Amino acid sequence: MIPAFYIFLAMVVIGVILYIHERLTRPSDETQEIEEPPVQDACSDDCCGTHDVCPSEMMLKHINDPVEYFDDEELDAFKGRGSTDYSDDELEQWRDVLYTLKSSELMAWERSIKKRGIQLPEVIKEELISIINA
């Protein structure tokens, strides 16, 4: 029983010495409570809520992948247009492509459109979201 007491006493003494050493060597500005920066949403994109992963994270993951076309080369003509600057006939062109895609291709198609510098029309974006959520 006495050896166990000596081991316990040695552990307490070593613990006190380490505590004092830590308090003396730590810079004084670290002793104050560190204020955590405000938590920002990792996604600053206009998240539509259909993705398990934020679109910007997906883009970074596939940044070096080549642009993939889905028989939609005609959509390159819309490069540089705003998402609300489409006529009804042009929206039909978008729908022709959208509704011929397989459900497994939708996310890759959206990524391809963004990589090509084309903005999805608002109406088509809503239809894409409803298809993904279905």
pLDDT digits (tens, 9 = 90+) for 33-68: 555 555 544 444 455 555 555 555 555 555 667 788
For residue 20, is it within any domain?
no
Domain that holds residue 115: 55-133
98 within domain boundaries: yes
Q: pLDDT, tens digit, for every residue of 6-41?
A: 999 999 999 999 999 988 888 765 555 555 555 544
Domain contains 117: yes
Q: What is the DSSP letter of 118?
A: -
Alpha carbon distance 92, 80 (integer Å): 19
The CA R_g of the chain, rounded to the nearest whole Å, is 29
Domain assignment present for residue 16? The answer is no
In a domain, 96, yes or no: yes
Stated pTM of the model: 0.53
Q: Is residue 105 part of a domain?
A: yes
Cβ neighbours of residue 122 closer than 8 Å, sequence gap 6 or more: 83, 84
When divided into structural domains, the chain yields a total of 1
Owner of token pair 């002793």: 31
Phi-psi region of 38 (alpha: psi -120 to 50; beta: other; left: phi over 0): beta
Task: Answer yes or no: is 72 within a domain.
Answer: yes
What's residue 61's pLDDT? 58
> Domain for residue 84, yes or no?
yes
At which residue do the structure tokens 């997906």 appear?
Answer: 58
